[in-house]
Amino acid sequence: MTVSAFAPAKINLTLHVTGQRTDGYHLLDSLVCFADIGDLVTVAFDAALSLTVTGPRAKGVPTDDSNLVLKAARFLDPNGMAHITLDKHLPAAAGIGGGSSDAAATLRALSELWEVPLPDSTVTLGADVPVCLHPMALRMQGVGDLLTPVAPLPETHAVLVNPGVDVPTPAVFNALKHKDNAPMEGVPTFADTRALARWLAEQRNDLQAPAIGQAPLILDVLDRLDDGLFAAMSGSGATCFALYTSAAEARAKARDLSQDQPGWWVAPCRLS
C-alpha cells in the first residue's frame, strides 16, 4: 500500500510583522494562499523509517534526520516505519514554504497510511507547518498557530520567480528595523483578481526591504514583474510573485522570463 500527498507552494500574499515575543519568536499577520504547483510525497510500509529524494530539485536536499520530512514522521509516531519518497520540484529555502509543505504532506500521507490522527498542534515543527497542513487561503497570525478561514480567492493566475540567491531567514529578520508594525485590518471578499491586486497594493511584506538589502537581485526580479497587476516577494524571499489576468498571460510571461533568464526558477501557476 502506498499513499501520496501533494505539497503545494505556499505564497504569502501579505506579511505584516506585528511584534516579537520574549522567546525571540516573531508575531505575524499574513494572508496565505497556495499554488497548484509543488512537490509530491509518497509513503509506503517498510521495515524502517527512511527517505529518498527524487525530482528536478533533489540536488542538495538532505535525506538524514535534518530533513523536516523525517522530523514530521517521528513527530506523528516516534515508532512508525515507512519509506518516504519526496519528489522535489520547488526550490529550497525560497520563501514559499517548500520544506514546511513537504512536512505537512508527510503528516497527511502517514496519517492515512498508519491510521493515526493528525496532531492537534504542529507549530513546533515550524511556523509554516500548521497553515500548510490544510492548504487553502487562510489568515495566519501569531507565530503561525492562529489560522482563520477567509473567503475563497477569485480565479487568480500568477508567475513565481526565484533568482537562485540564498537569503537566510534569520538574517532577514535581524535586518528588520521595526518589529511592531500594524496588522492587517481584515481580509475582504474579492470580486476578481483586479480587486485582489488593488487591496494587496495597500498591504505590506515587512520582510521585503530587508531581504532586498541582503540580496539586491530580488529588486531586479520585481522590476521584471512590474507588468503584472501586482508583484511582491513571498515570505522572507527570495521568491517573488506577480498576478496576471489570465492563465495565457501568466504562461507567456513565464516563457519570456525563462528565455531571458535561464538560470532563474520560473513557474506559472494558479493560486487558491
Query: What's the pLDDT at 58?
Result: 97
134 and 176 inside one domain: no
Whose cell is 522570463? That residue is 257
pLDDT profile of the chain (272 residues), mean per 10: 97 98 95 98 98 97 96 98 98 94 98 97 96 97 97 97 94 94 96 98 98 97 98 97 98 98 98 97
Quick: pLDDT tens for 92-149.
989 999 999 999 999 999 999 999 999 999 999 999 999 999 999 999 999 999 999 9
The answer to whether 109 and 5 have CB atoms below 8 angstroms apart is yes
Number of folded domains that form the chain: 2
Do residues 39 and 96 lie in contact, with contact meaning Cβ atoms separated by under 8 Å?
no
Catalytic residues: 10, 128
Q: Containing domain of residue 155, as a range?
A: 151-271
Instruction: Tell whether 211 and 162 lie within a shared domain.
Output: yes
Distance from C-alpha of 120 to C-alpha of 132, rounded to nearest angstrom: 14
Q: Which of 142, 162, 180 is the last residue of a domain?
A: 142
pLDDT value of residue 259: 98
DSSP string spanning 182-220? Answer: ---------SSHHHHHHHHTTS-BTTHHHHHHH-THHHH
Question: pLDDT at position 133, please?
Answer: 97
Listed in sequence order, the DSSP H helices in the chain are 68-76, 98-114, 129-133, 169-175, 193-200, 208-214, 217-224, 247-260
Residues 6 and 131 in one domain: yes
Alpha-carbon separation of residue 94 from 88, 167, 233 (angstroms)? 13, 8, 10
CATH number at 62 reads: 3.30.230.10
Same domain assignment for residues 59 and 114: yes
Q: Which helix (DSSP H) or strand (DSSP E) does residue 154 occupy?
A: none
Q: Are 75 and 108 in contact (CB under 8 A)?
A: no
Domain co-membership, 174 together with 87:
no
Residue 197 maps to which CATH number? 3.30.70.890
118 and 136 co-located in one domain: yes
**Quick one: 241 and 166 in the same domain?**
yes
Q: What pTM was computed for the model? A: 0.96
